[in-house]
Amino acid sequence: MHESERDLTALQSLLDDSYAAAGRHLLSVITPERRLTAEQVAKELTGVCIVGLATTSRDGRPFVAPVDGLFYRGQFWFGSAPNSLRFVHIRRDPHVSVSYVPAEELGITVHGTAEILDVTAEEFTGFRDYCMDIYGEDWISWLDSAAYARIHAERMFTFYLDPRA
């Protein structure tokens, strides 16, 4: 877990604000006892989390594809080829959604905007170190053929159903 207290506080505010703005149906499914706290989210989202990333085409058609989701400092990050369809879409319209659903008892969904970043910049040293911890030292050699983006979440919803209950 790489989140600071400040990151966790911001994440908890996002979770609470998202829940407060949810519609009736969502509130009937994600009852208070089925929500995760910011700390629980950060603990759950360690390492690579394969997520479905949704973008839209120029004419509004949705496209969803799996990407390596990396949760770092309270935000989802992901990478792909700079010329991939998802990055073409994001350059035109940065609105994205991401869902992580590894099993029926857990789901985490984020809606927001993606910001394409130059992760070779000095300010992203921590993120690069995190990627090297996950992927190994060879990860640095991939940077010439990869682009990375960070999602600025506008809404985030969590669902957890304890299988022992």
What are the tens digits of pLDDT across the range 57-112? 999 999 999 999 999 999 999 999 999 999 999 999 999 999 999 999 999 999 99
In a domain, 81, yes or no: yes
In a domain, 165, yes or no: no
Contact 69, 47 (CB under 8 A): no
Tokens for 155, please give them. Answer: 């809404």
Number of structural domains, the chain? 1
Q: How far is it, in rounded angstroms, from Cα 42 to Cα 21?
A: 22
In which domain, by residue range, is 84 found? 5-160
SS3 33: helix
pLDDT at 143: 80
Comparing CA positions, the residue from 98, 81, 79 lying closest to residue 153 is 98
Reported as a single tens digit per residue, the pLDDT across 4-55 is 999 999 999 999 999 999 999 999 999 999 999 999 999 999 999 999 999 9
Q: Does residue 127 register a pLDDT over 90?
A: yes
Average pLDDT of the segment spanning 125-143: 89
Residue 17 phi, psi dihedral angles, 5° rounding: -65, -40
In a domain, 43, yes or no: yes
Q: Which residues, 6 or more positions from 35, have their beta carbon under 8 angstroms from its beta carbon?
A: 15, 19, 158, 159, 160
pLDDT at 141: 83
